[in-house]
Amino acid sequence: MVRLKHFLFLLILLFAMMRASFAALTIDITQGIDGALPIAVVPFAWAGTAPVQGATTAAPENIAAIVASDLRRSGRFAPVPESDLVGRPSHGSQVNYTAWRALGIDNLIVGHIKPLVDGTYEVQFQLLDMFKAEQLVGYKIRSRRSNLRRTAHQISDLIYQALMGVKGAFDTNICYVTVTKNRRHEKIYRLAIADSDGYNEKIILETKSPLMSPSWSPNGLQLAYVSFSRGRPEVYVQSILTGQAKRVAAFKGINGAPSWSPDGKQLALTLSKDGNAEIYIYDLGRGTTHRVTHNSAIDTEPVWLPDASAIIFTSDRGNGPQLYQVAVNSRGALSRPKRLTFEGSYNARASVSPDGKFIAMVHRIEGSYRIAVLERETGYLRVLTESRLDESPSFAPNGSMIIYATEYKNRGVLAAVSVDGRARQRLQLNQGDVREPAWSFFKQK
């Protein structure tokens, strides 16, 4: 009996371990930046005092750890290990600036988390400059328990903005497609969304037929994607909150490559209903389609410029796939397509940076498919990645990083690279393949 109890205890422990290890995506920083800014994030003080009814004895989330991990992932910061901290201040007034300066720390983040009587939490933080001995930014944020991770990401965004001059993209989401096999060795496709650090994965759709090309609506509330559930590629739009899906394009032939217009009212699509793969604009409200391209070559993978003035797409009308740009309004083309890429024999699947200045793409070089970035103004092409089957690049909404799909140890994994190619990380599933990432826009308040 005693033995059985022991086993039960072990069993519970193991389940707890496994639950933790089944966190959907794990992130490995594979390359940081030399000269990343040293920063210290002091564990936030837990200001829970006399136990109120049901109150916990420790903070329900480790805010400082989430913030430090966000900052490290950006490649711009080198948070010092907790064991190296020279004190545990929770407020600027308690900081010994000299001691932190001696440690080589430029910036210090301190704060506290306090349970309130209504069951919510008050999270306060300060970003302190060790040389000027002053506060750069500081906020008090009210949060619910289920929202504390998000609060931590919002703090990371504010710190990133204060120090880098650009809004952080930590409080954002990614979506992706996973492929695993069930016990009958059938492939199971899932469309999932998660926080930008891989946490809080939610499965949006599960099916035995291929899923492709997920695309975020600008308001972050819907995903468009391609499903083969009826035996051929068709385009769906699905609400993330309700799970309700609507089939929006099911013409004869290909229905694919959905991309939302910046105002969220239209989708650019690839349809082959009129012969071969061409670009169309589909009006979600009216249900009308307007043809953009007219060419016997393949035209596909349309994406909009952020100002909606043009669509960039892949076409093999020249020799092999290259990127082209065509000026559009809501009813079709306003110009003849203009070729954008000239380096190499394969340039496809554009993702435009949020400021419209850069285009990420799949670029073939020496037989390998890599992610490259084209600076539109100068035409300068920079190859960012080094493996051989990289695809599906997608810009973070602040333009700092590009998430993409690649192959690692014979499995499909996601990776992210900074636009300058200096910071890298890998996001991996415990089993199976993960592919076709898309980074959301900024969340709307």
Q: Contact residues for another protein (CB under 8 A)?
A: 4, 7-8, 10-11, 14-15, 17-18, 21, 184, 186, 207-210, 212-213, 228-233, 253-254, 256-257, 270, 272, 276-277, 298, 300-301, 314, 316, 320-321, 346, 348-349, 362, 364, 369, 389, 391-392, 407, 410, 430, 436
How far is it, in rounded angstroms, from Cα 311 to Cα 390? 23
Minimal distance, residue 370 CB to another protein, in Å: 12
Minimal distance, residue 115 CB to another protein, in Å: 33
- Pick between residue 128 and residue 268 the one whose CB is nearest to another protein: 268
Minimal distance, residue 7 CB to another protein, in Å: 6
Nearest CA-CA partner of 367 in 381, 346, 351: 346
How far is it, in rounded angstroms, from Cα 282 to Cα 270? 10
- Pick between residue 408 and residue 442 the one whose CB is nearest to another protein: 408
Burial 214-234 (b: 16+ CB within 10 A, else e): bbbbbebebbbbbbebeeebb
Minimal distance, residue 9 CB to another protein, in Å: 10
Minimal distance, residue 37 CB to another protein, in Å: 32
- Pick between residue 113 and residue 254 the one whose CB is nearest to another protein: 254
DSSP 231: S
Nearest CA-CA partner of 44 in 60, 25, 27: 60
- Pick between residue 18 and residue 102 the one whose CB is nearest to another protein: 18
Question: With contact defined as beta carbons under 8 Å apart, do 51 and 73 qualify?
Answer: no
Nearest CA-CA partner of 298 in 319, 281, 283, 328: 319
Tell me if residue 381 falls in helix, strand or coil.
Answer: strand
Which residues, in sequence order, are CB contacts of 79 under 8 Å at separation 6+? Answer: 39, 40, 41, 68, 71, 72
**Cβ neighbours, 10 Å, residue 135:** 14
- Pick between residue 393 and residue 397 the one whose CB is nearest to another protein: 393
Minimal distance, residue 219 CB to another protein, in Å: 24
- Pick between residue 200 and residue 276 the one whose CB is nearest to another protein: 276
**Cβ neighbours, 10 Å, residue 210:** 14
Strands in 144-250 per DSSP E = 173-181, 187-195, 202-207, 211-216, 222-227, 234-239, 245-249
CA 235 to chain centre: 22
Minimal distance, residue 232 CB to another protein, in Å: 5
Minimal distance, residue 78 CB to another protein, in Å: 27
- Pick between residue 145 and residue 252 the one whose CB is nearest to another protein: 252
Question: With contact defined as beta carbons under 8 Å apart, do 368 and 387 qualify?
Answer: yes
Minimal distance, residue 254 CB to another protein, in Å: 6
Residue 331 phi, psi dihedral angles, 5° rounding: -110, 10
- Pick between residue 246 and residue 331 the one whose CB is nearest to another protein: 246
- Pick between residue 70 and residue 391 the one whose CB is nearest to another protein: 391
